[in-house]
Structure formats: structure tokens, C-alpha cells
Amino acid sequence: MSDRIFGVVGMLLALGYVLAALAIEESFLSDAVGPKAFPLIIAAILGLSSAVIAFRPDPEPKWPALGRLVEIGAAIVVMILYAELLPVAGFVIATAFAAAYLAWRLGSALLEAVFVGIGTSIGIYVIFHLVLGLSLARGPWGF
């Protein structure tokens, strides 16, 4: 039943994409394809995929226990907090805390998760900021 619901929701979303794409006003300076083509392609792929899911569903899935659902919810909250705190705390600090928490919940020991979080944060900072020169959110200490 859950696959059928998911498929119908996907088909409704595809219909929304089509309606939004058709509402795009075309400029007289547009290319041969036009601005409507890409959203219509996405809508077609989404609609066909959702139809397959709705009309050929898998057997009923086994949902995780309540404890696992709470852990998934906590990981979602951590990712939302990460996005919110990134401009305030900076990339290095926010990423270290988020990566440490997620590593801990994935089975690392607490101290090991802290080292993984710090290593991940510094490693990404070095590659993306120092080597590639990309701009990352600066924290209160300038990095």
C-alpha cells in the first residue's frame, strides 16, 4: 500500500511540474529548445517512474522499529541544525560536530567519532578551500 501511495504522490508532483513548466513565459531571445524543455523532461521521467511504482508495487516493506525511526529523525535534525549553524559557527566547526555525531550513530566509539568528525572537517576544508580555492563559511575564528 505504501508504494502505491508513494507512486500516486510522485505522479501528482509530476503533474505539478508540468503545470509549472507550462506557466513559464518564453522570451523572444530563447534558444531552440526553450526554457520549458528541461522541466517537462523531469516531469515525464518522474511521472513514468511513479506510475511504475504505483502499478507494480513491491511487497509490503518491513518498517524499522520505533527506536530506529527516532535515530533517523535525530539524524535529520542534526542535518537541519548543520545547515542553520553553518553560517554562524563556520564550516570547520559545524562540519566537525555533524560528522562526529553521524559517525557515532553509525557505530563508531565516542572518542573515535570525535576524531572522525575533526578529521573529516579539516580534510574537506583543506581540499576544498586551500587546494581548490572554494569559499566556505567562515566561523568566529576565521576558518
Which residues neighbour 97 within 8 Å (Cβ) at sequence distance 6 or greater? 82, 89, 117
Residue 90 is assigned to a structural domain of this protein:
yes
Mean pLDDT, residues 48-53 = 95
Locate cell 574537506: which residue?
A: 124
Q: What kind and span of H or E run contains 101?
A: helix 91-105
In-domain check, residue 29: yes
Residues 75 and 122 in one domain: yes
Q: Is the pLDDT of residue 63 over 70?
A: yes
Q: What pLDDT is stored for residue 64 in this prediction?
A: 86
Residue 30 included in any domain: yes
- Predicted confidence at residue 61, as pLDDT, reads 76
Q: What is the pLDDT of residues 85-141, one digit of tens each?
A: 999 999 999 999 999 999 999 999 999 999 999 999 999 999 999 999 888 888 887
Of 78, 134, 84, 137, nearest to 105 (Cα)? 78
Confidence of residue 37 (pLDDT cuts 50, 70, 90): confident
Domain shared by 40 and 74, yes or no:
no
Structural domains counted in the chain: 2
For residues 93 and 85, give the distance between their C-alpha atoms in angstroms, rounded to a whole number: 9
**Sequence-separated contacts (24+) of 117-123 with Cβ below 8 Å:** 120/95, 120/96, 121/91, 121/92, 121/93, 121/95, 121/96, 122/92, 122/96
| Residue 33 belongs to some domain of the structure | yes
Q: Is residue 140 part of a domain?
A: no
Give the domain extent around 79: 66-131
What local confidence, expressed as pLDDT, does residue 135 receive? 87
Q: Are residues 70 and 45 in the same domain?
A: no
* Banded model confidence at residue 41, pLDDT cuts 50, 70, 90: very high
pLDDT of the residue at 30: 65
Flag whether 84 is in a domain: yes
Residue 12, amino acid: L
Same domain, 51 and 101: no
126 belongs to a structural domain: yes
